[in-house]
């Protein structure tokens, strides 16, 4: 228990962690302030006008959909392109909301979606940098050696460091999310419009929060493992930068040139996107060469994405612990 308390103290005392917390607060403060000065509470006239425009759009969509279906069945002459007739892809009346026609108004139900992804992206970066520097600096400066003189149990010390790091980052994540979402909720109540906060919206927000928190924890653990293997903070940064340039960019281009089979499924970014969205539909023209009826579509689900991410992160962290057990730290 003393080791856990000591590690929490060491984590909070690090100047880099404090700097990242300040940057986190500044970034969120700027986002909230920008939203606050660019919104106003809609008047009754604006709401009525927005509802009227939405109703006009609903009726127009109903007419277009009926005309499209008639043309598609051959009951009327078609003025629509074939790709349009294939789907009659229009927003259904229930999908047209009056909030789509409120201008200069912060609508919580509509705007919080990209803002939530911004929050997750920033916290992923926060977790990666803090995770790499927390262990990397100790290994490089000799702090880990001194700590092992006090508590000569390598696996216990390293495991406590990883657990403390994950608990600290997830604590910051939960606190940030509560404050961040609450701030925008208050803005929508006093200077904007809440929107249609139905069950579907809360389900999306809950799932996104769980997926985002899981992704932040995985990235934090990955950076910790890379820094342990490389014995330096820069090792984790270098591996990620090299992977992004060599594999995600360079290898992707080469695979497209040689018409490789489903190149997206070899990229970690694909599984991150599938995990966050719940499902990712992809298309590969090369897989249909020589097959007449093949459309080349395939899907990556959130479950398969999670398995891949767990295998990658688990393999890296496992290798880090195995390496640390026998490593010469002098």
The pLDDT-based confidence of 60 (bands split at 50, 70, 90) is confident
| CA separation for the pair 274, 280 (Å, rounded) | 5
What are the tens digits of pLDDT across the range 226-245?
Answer: 999 988 888 899 999 999 99
Q: How far apart are CA 161 and CA 151, in angstroms?
A: 13
Distance, CA of 260 to CA of 258 (rounded, Å): 6
Residue 161: how many CB atoms within 10 A of its CB?
22
Which one of 50-64, 86-100, 241-255, 288-302 scores highest in mean pLDDT?
241-255
> Strand ranges (DSSP E) for the chain?
279-283, 297-301
pLDDT of residue 170: 96
User: pLDDT at position 232, please?
Assistant: 85
Percent of the chain with pLDDT over 70: 88
Q: What pLDDT, on the 0 to 100 scale, is given for residue 83? A: 58
Rounded Cα–Cα distance for residues 317 and 311 (Å): 10
SS3 assignment, position 102: coil
The mean pLDDT of 212-232, rounded to a whole number, is 94
- Residue 75: is its pLDDT beyond 70? no
Q: Domain residue spans in the chain?
A: 43-101, 250-308
Average pLDDT over residues 60-68: 78
**Average model confidence (pLDDT) for the chain?**
87
pLDDT at 117: 95
Classified as helix, coil or strand, 240 is: helix
Name the DSSP class of 193: B
CA 284 to CA 286: how far, in whole Å? Answer: 6
What percent of the chain lies above the pLDDT cut of 90?
A: 52
Residue 161 confidence class, pLDDT cut points 50, 70, 90: very high
CA nearest 210: which of 183, 170, 181, 180? 170
Cα–Cα distance measured from residue 282 to residue 153, given in angstroms and rounded to the nearest whole number: 48
Q: DSSP per residue over 34-66, as a string?
A: HHHHT--PPPHHHHHHHHHHHHHHHHHHHHHHH
Q: Given a cut of 80, is residue 84 above it in pLDDT? A: no
3-state secondary structure of 297: strand
What is the mean predicted confidence (pLDDT) over 139-154?
82
Look up the pTM and report it: 0.86
């Amino acid at each position: 228990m003393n080791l856990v308390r000591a590690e929490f103290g060491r984590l909070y005392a690090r100047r880099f962690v404090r700097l990242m917390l300040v940057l986190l607060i500044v970034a969120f403060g700027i986002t909230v302030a920008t939203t606050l000065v660019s919104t106003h509470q809609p008047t009754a006239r604006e709401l009525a006008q927005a509802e009227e425009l939405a109703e006009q759009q609903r009726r127009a969509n109903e007419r277009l959909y009926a005309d499209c279906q008639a043309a598609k069945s051959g009951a009327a002459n078609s003025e629509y392109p074939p790709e349009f007739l294939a789907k009659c892809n229009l927003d259904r009346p229930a999908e047209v909301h009056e909030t789509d026609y409120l201008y200069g108004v912060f609508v919580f139900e509509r705007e919080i979606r990209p803002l939530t992804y911004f929050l997750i992206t920033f916290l992923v970066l926060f977790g990666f940098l803090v995770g790499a520097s927390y262990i990397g600096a100790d290994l490089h400066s000799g702090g880990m050696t001194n700590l092992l003189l006090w508590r000569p149990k390598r696996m216990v010390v390293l495991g406590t460091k990883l657990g403390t790091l994950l608990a600290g980052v997830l604590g910051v994540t939960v606190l940030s999310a509560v404050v961040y979402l609450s701030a925008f909720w208050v803005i929508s109540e006093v200077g904007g419009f809440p929107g249609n906060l139905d069950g579907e919206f809360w389900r999306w927000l809950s799932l996104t929060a769980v997926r985002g928190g899981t992704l932040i924890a995985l990235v934090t653990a990955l950076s910790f493992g890379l820094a342990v293997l490389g014995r330096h903070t820069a090792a984790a940064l270098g591996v990620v930068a090299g992977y992004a340039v060599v594999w995600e960019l360079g290898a992707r281009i080469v695979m497209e040139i040689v018409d490789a089979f489903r190149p997206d499924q070899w990229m970690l970014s694909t599984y991150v996107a599938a995990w966050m969205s719940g499902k990712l539909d992809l298309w590969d023209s090369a897989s249909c060469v020589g097959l007449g009826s093949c459309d080349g579509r395939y899907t990556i689900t959130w479950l398969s994405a999670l398995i891949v991410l767990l295998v990658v992160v688990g393999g890296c962290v496992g290798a880090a612990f195995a390496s640390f057990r026998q490593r010469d730290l002098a």
